[in-house]
Amino acid sequence: MSGGGAAPAMKMSDVFILLGVTFLVGGLFIHGLVSPHSLDADAEPYSNGASLLNGDTIELVITAENESTVAVEIVNEEGDIVLAESFLLASGDSNSIDFEADGKGFYSYTVEFSEGSGEFVVDVDRKLLIDFIIYPLGIVCVVFGFYKRKDERMGESIDAVLESND
C-alpha cells in the first residue's frame, strides 16, 4: 500500500458473500426496472426483439396520451409476420397485446404511432423461468460464504496473554 503498510488478504468467505449479494441485487435490478417507452407519430417506429422458446410470451401494453392510431407487428427470425394489429385508442385508453411463441427463435416487434402519441411497456415472460436462476445462485453463494466464514473461525488459534500469580 502507499502508506507502507500491508492490507490483509481477502478471505474466501468474504468473496462468496460479496458475490452472492451482487447476484441478488443485480437480479432485482434486472427484473424490477421496467421503463416505458414514449413514442409519437413524428418519431421512427420502435423496434426491438427477444429470443423466445416455445410457450414464452410477449405482452405489449400501449397507453395513448391523445387520440392515437397504433400499429404493432411481430416477425419471426425467418421474416414471416406472425402478428399484425392496428387499432385506434382514445386519449388515456390503453390496449394490451399478448403473443405466445409457437417455436424457438428470435422474434422482432415493432410499435408505430401513425397518429397521436403515447407510451408502451414490453414484458417478456419465460415459461422455463430461466431468468430467475440468478436468485438461487446468489443465495447459494451467500450461504456458502457464511459457512466458510464459520469454518475459518473454527480453525483460528486463540492467542491469550497468561499472567503469572507472583
Q: Name the residue range of residue 47's domain.
A: 12-152
Provide the 10 A C-beta neighbour count for residue 6. 7
CATH number at residue 126: 2.60.120.380
> For the chain, how many structural domains are there in total?
1
User: Does the pTM of the predicted model rise above 0.85?
Assistant: no
CA distance 14 to 23: 14
Q: List all residues 6 or more positions away from 62 whose beta carbon is below 8 Å from its beta carbon.
A: 70, 72, 89, 94, 95, 96, 97, 111, 118, 119, 120
pLDDT by residue, tens only, the chain of 166 residues: 566 667 777 888 899 999 999 999 999 888 887 788 999 888 899 999 999 999 999 999 999 999 999 999 999 999 999 999 999 999 889 999 999 999 899 999 999 999 999 999 999 888 887 788 999 999 999 999 999 988 887 766 666 566 766 5
Residue 126 lies in a domain: yes
